[in-house]
Amino acid sequence: MANIIVRNYEHFNRSLPNWDTPKGKWIGSRAQYEKELAKNGFVSFEEGEKLAASGRKTLHKDYNGLSPQAMAVCKAAKDQADKKGNLKPSSRLIDGMKKAGVCFDLDKLPKHYRDVDTGGFDGV
Is 3 inside any structural domain? no
Is 15 inside any structural domain? yes
Same domain, 48 and 72: no
- Return mean pLDDT, the chain: 80
- CA-to-CA distance for 112 and 100, rounded, in angstroms? 24
- What b/e string do you get for 51-90 counting C-beta neighbours within 10 Å, with b at 16 or more? eeeeeeeeeeeeeeeeeeebeebbeebeeeeeeeeeeebe
Is 1 inside any structural domain? no
Tally of domains within the chain: 2
Q: Convert the pLDDT of each residue in 64-104 to its tens digit.
A: 778 888 888 889 999 999 999 898 888 999 898 888 888 77
Is 122 inside any structural domain? no
Residues of the domain holding 36: 11-59
Same domain, 18 and 53: yes
Query: What does the pLDDT read at residue 111?
Result: 74
Is 52 inside any structural domain? yes
Query: What does the pLDDT read at residue 23?
Result: 82
Is 88 inside any structural domain? yes
Is 121 inside any structural domain? no
Q: Does the predicted model carry a pTM greater than 0.85?
A: no
Residue 27 banded pLDDT, cuts 50, 70, 90: confident
Is 123 inside any structural domain? no
